[in-house]
Amino acid sequence: MDYIMAFIIGGFICLIGQILIDTTKLMPAHVLVIFIVLGVLLSSIGLYQPLVDIGKAGAIIPLTGFGHTLVTGVIEDTDKYGLLGVFTGALGASAAGITSAVVFGYIMAVIFNPKSK
Amino acid sequence: MVKKLTKEQQDFQQYINKKKPKPPYIKNAFFAFLVGGFICTIGQFILNFYISLGLTFKEAGAPTSATMVFIGALLTGLGIYDDIGKIAGAGSVVPITGFANSIVSPAMEFKREGYVFGVAAKMFVVAGPVLVYGLTSSFIVGLIYYLFKL
Amino acid sequence: MADRKIGSQTIKFNKPPSIIGTGTVVGPKEGIGPLKDYFDLIINDDLYSEKSWEKAERKMLKEASEMAIKNSKIPFANIEYFISGDLLNQIISSAFTARELGSPFLGIYGACSTIAEGMGLGAILIDGGYADNLLVATSSHFCTAERQFRFPLELGNQRPPTAQWTVTGAGAAVVSSDIKNPRITYFTFGKIIDMGEVDSNSMGTAMAPAAVDTMIRHFQDTGRTPDYYDLIVTGDLSSIGKDVAEDLMKQKGYDISNNYTDCGIMIYNNKQDVHSGGSGCACAATVTCGYLFKQMLEKKYNRVLLVATGALLSTTSSQQGETIPCIAYALSLENL
């Protein structure tokens, strides 16, 4: 059941992205930025958590889920540490994702070369 | 827009827009859904794996993201991710594996410009803006939350 | 008194200069296309055993240049000028190749129209009596153009159907005062035409009006009609741009549908996943120096009008939302 819901919710979020790319002049980079901000906004008004409850990985893996992680972290840390938490929350919660992206990214870039097209 | 188009230019643009073939909307949407859904299903599999190791659902999110990033980075390095992207479009851009792809692809490409100004600097051409807007907007949300709580 | 200028934008050469030899090098993808038999050298690795794609592009340009000189059977020392341009910032492929060749160098930038601009200028130098032999060359490379103008190769993005594929290759020609066929009889300069296109993924439609403007100017200045030519060939408008050009010509009262084609369509077959067709400096250059030159030598075509087109944008102008200024140069190639 988890798998089916992850497939449907995740697929649906990507579908929205595709419609944005095809029908507007937005580049994929714009779409990524829009999606993370969208995730932040939806999460901050409490609309994203239900999506995570239903879709599980289907809502976490898309970049909107990354936005959700940032907001959850900020809120938690603000509750714990007050104003300081506003500064530490987002990066704290997303540390695993960002650090792995930088480190794995660097390693892959050093090991591999782009292929001829 | 920098300059207003003249009447002649506007007419031409209208004519051209009719001439330009449209992207295959239905096909693109279908594959975006399919591949996007598939990537998330793999994510679910990994998430369940971490939960089975004893993590809670909430704790398992971070290692799942990190693992997906690794997969995205590896597939980019192997030269497979762009082939997936050709078919899937947003289906492989929007998941976090696409975020990894956007980091590895420029880093790899600019290796010949050196490890500082090439690899390291170019890593963030696409990912940088994502982090800037993600962090800034969540900071604002946090600040508003903090002020309302007072 | 300018006695060789006719009409408003056309030069009529008194003693039409000749193209006495050409050289072409293309990449693997072009090497399986429909024109593969007309290219002198097909490389099977687009790094061409070099450390970077930029170096590979230079090497192709140099080899094409040397091949053109060899095929024209004149000693290297007789090359009086090297006229060249390419797509990379500050035309480095050309300048670095000129450093290797050692001839006096004229760097030009006409984007994908470079080969026609170069041959036209070369013909002027020769007909004017300023030289007897000179070399015109240009190159482009899919990977160097892609990283400069668009995205990293491994980025998983989709290209829209209007996108074109930059040709990997180099074309060179020796233009001479020797009397041989084919000859360059007329050269029509283009004006910058900008019809308000901002989408850098749709160069063909952006450049089509420039091609049309130059073609009409050419016909008016010379008094010729489209039927005069066996073949009218535009640079790299590709399938969508070609349609637009044909349409626009018809609106202005010129029917070119019978003898008109485009280099961007000729160089690839439609199974090659190149979207609407080829582009880049090497597109018009390799088709002209490879296919057209050899067909003219064999007299399959005797009168060809080459209308090479160029989109003179940069990544900066694109990002700032500017429209794309385009140009086209027309060169009348004839067996006399």
**Whether residue B5 has pLDDT greater than 90:** no
**Whether residue C1 has pLDDT greater than 60:** yes
> How far apart, in whole angstroms, are the C-alpha atoms of residue C281 and residue C142?
11
For chain A, what's the residue count?
A: 117
pLDDT tens track for B92-130: 999 999 999 999 999 999 999 999 999 999 999 989 999
CB A64 within 8 A of CB A38: yes
ipTM of model: 0.94
Answer yes or no: do C106 and C221 share one domain. no
Domain boundary among the residues C153, C176, C199 is at C176
Query: What pLDDT is recorded for position B1?
Result: 47
A21 with B89: Cβ contact below 8 A: yes
Answer yes or no: do C24 and C120 share one domain. yes
**Whether residue A116 has pLDDT greater than 80:** no
- CB proximity C142 to A under 8 Å: yes
- CB proximity C52 to A under 8 Å: no
Range of the domain at C46: 5-176
**Whether residue A117 has pLDDT greater than 80:** no
Of all residues in chain C, the percent with pLDDT exceeding 90 is 94
Mutate to test the interface with B, among C52, C144, C157, C275 (most CBs of B within 10 A): C157
CB C318 within 8 A of CB C150: no
Least confident residue range of A26-30, A99-103, C42-46, C300-304: A26-30
Number of separate domains in chain B: 1
Nearest to C103 by CA among C66, C71, C70: C66
B93 with A28: Cβ contact below 8 A: yes
Q: Report the residue from B13, B89, B108 with minimal CB separation from C154.
A: B108
Query: What pLDDT is recorded for position B2?
Result: 53
- CB proximity C197 to A under 8 Å: no
Query: What pLDDT is recorded for position B33?
Result: 98
Has residue B15 been placed in a domain? no
A61 with B129: Cβ contact below 8 A: no
Answer yes or no: do C110 and C210 share one domain. no
Domain boundary among the residues C124, C145, C176 is at C176
Specify the amino acid at residue A53: D
With cut-offs at 50, 70 and 90, classify the pLDDT of residue B3: low
Q: Kindly list the residues from chain A whose CB atom is less than 8 angstroms away from the CB atom of residue B50.
A: none
Number of separate domains in chain C: 2
Answer yes or no: do C231 and C319 share one domain. yes
Q: How far is A16 from chain B (nearest CA, A)?
A: 8
Residue C323's domain is classified under what CATH number?
A: 3.40.47.40
pLDDT tens track for C160-172: 999 999 999 999 9
Has residue B12 been placed in a domain? no
Q: Kindly list the residues from chain A whose CB atom is less than 8 angstroms away from the CB atom of residue C158.
A: 21
Answer yes or no: do C172 and C197 share one domain. no
Nearest to A66 by CA among A106, A86, A88, A96: A96
- CB proximity A116 to C under 8 Å: yes
B41 with A18: Cβ contact below 8 A: no
Averaged confidence pLDDT in chain C: 96
Query: What pLDDT is recorded for position A1?
Result: 83
Average pLDDT over residues C98-121: 97
Range of the domain at B42: 24-125
pLDDT tens track for B10-52: 999 999 999 999 999 999 999 999 999 999 999 999 999 999 9
